[in-house]
Amino acid sequence: MFVLITGGCKNGKSRIAEKILTAYDVPNMPRFYVATMEPFGSEAAEAIARHRKIREGKNFTTIEKYTDISEIKLPQDSGVLLECICNLCANEMFSANEKSPVPKIIRGIETLINYTEIFVAVTNQVGSDGVKYSPETMAYIKQMGLLNNRLAELADVVIEAVFGIPVLLKGDLPKCLC
């Protein structure tokens, strides 16, 4: 099962995603947290530390992978939480100089899904503020729009986090959120 969590900044996406994966009851299923935030600067370091603290005691093995997620090797029937698609797209575009990273990211996600019992991905809604940005940022927003549209098509379940409340957009709401 593929669950996509979207929403605005600081709206509870991570909490919802972690709740889904930790509640998914398959005995001895290894759980992996694929972290895509590159530790650039103090703000990123604080966010990484906050997320690590939140994950404590939840039996996640963290894999830090900023680009090329198709290279990740997982045991069959794993549980995976990938956070976050936005960071991954930015890393591919600006660190790896991939101008159109959508096909590469989709291939990577499809590769990971082949190893999973459940795959939960967190993304953000970008570009809805209607503001014109630099050409590089506008290119990123376009790629994120294409990427989020394709991921929503692929996902079995799509949930939007609105003020910490999971709002179902596609599929069936996981029982742990009911």
- Domains defined for the chain, CATH in brackets: 6-169 (3.40.50.300)
- Run of H or E residues at 16: helix 13-23
Please state, in angstroms and rounded to a whole number, the distance separating the CA atoms of residues 133 and 136: 8
pLDDT at 63: 95
Give the model confidence (pLDDT) of 31-60 as tens digits: 999 999 888 788 877 877 877 787 777 889
So what's the pLDDT on residue 83? 94
Give helix then strand counts, H and E, for the chain.
Answer: 5, 7
The pTM score is 0.93
How big, in percent rounded to 5, are the helix, strand and coil portions of the chain? 40, 25, 35
Quick: pLDDT tens for 116-170: 999 999 999 888 777 889 999 999 999 999 999 999 999 999 999 999 999 999 9
The 10 Å CB-count burial string (b at 16+, else e) for 65-75 is bbbebeebebe
Sign (positive/negative) of CA torsion 170, 171, 175, 178? positive
Q: In this predicted model, what pLDDT tens digit does every residue of 66-111 receive, in sequence order?
A: 999 999 999 999 999 999 999 999 999 999 999 999 999 999 999 9
- Whose tokens are 């159109």? That residue is 100
